[in-house]
Amino acid sequence: MATNILSRQISNRNFLSPIGFRFTLARFPKVSFFSNSAKIPEISLQTLVQPTYLKSLDVPGKQLTFGDFTLRFLVDENLENYMAIHNWLYGLGAPESLQQYVDLIDETGQEDEKKAFSDGTLRILNSNYRDIALVKFKDLFPTSLNSLDFEAQETDIKYFTADVTFKYTVYTITNANNEKYEP
């Protein structure tokens, strides 16, 4: 009986570090996102009400809702990572002409209507900075990018960070070998 109890205990007593992660976007393979904040978005299940003669009961529904994915990243000196998101948003919104959206679509080289989207991967790292889990986002697109506030009065140099918010279709969590994650 004691062996059964021990087999149900976790074997790795190391705790997950909040600084062990990295984010990549398929749309911009050459652009690094030096992330310093990311959250695995919330996930919630719709519930249904099943009436009974005594009391209505909540039962699991059939539809999942995923929260937005927000990422905070260090902006590189050449603004490459910031401008990649900025230009993506600009092309999606096409504020000056429809040609901006057409140019956005043409730069991907894809053949279908998913050209405005990108898949992304949040890599969760262990204490040795090796992948232990992959959070894969399907069909990401940015919805907001914060401003960069220049301030000449600053006495200490604080490097710029930018917050970007993404919508997406679905996310999945797999292990480092891209297999179903099972603890």
Cα–Cα distance measured from residue 83 to residue 105, given in angstroms and rounded to the nearest whole number: 17
Cα–Cα distance for residue pair 118/3, rounded to 1 Å = 47
pLDDT band at 8 (very low <50, low <70, confident <90, very high): low
Output the CA–CA distances (angstroms, integers) from residue 72 to 43, 75, 150, in the order listed: 20, 9, 18
Q: Alpha-carbon distance 172 to 178, whole Å?
A: 10
Band of the pLDDT at 164, cuts 50, 70, 90? Answer: very high
Fold of 23-44+56-175: Pnp Oxidase; Chain A (2.30.110)
The tens digit of pLDDT for each residue in 14-67 reads 666 666 788 889 888 877 777 788 889 999 999 999 998 889 999 998 899 999
**Distance of alpha carbon 166 from alpha carbon 76, whole angstroms:** 20
- Using the 8-state DSSP alphabet, how is residue 127 labeled? T
Return the pLDDT at 142. 95
pLDDT over 70 (residue 108): no
- Tokens 């970007």 — which residue? 164
Q: What is the pLDDT of residue 7?
A: 61
Put simply, whether the predicted model's pTM sits higher than 0.75 gets the answer yes
- CA distance linking residue 90 with residue 100, whole number of Å: 8
What confidence category does residue 2 fall into, taking pLDDT thresholds of 50, 70 and 90? low
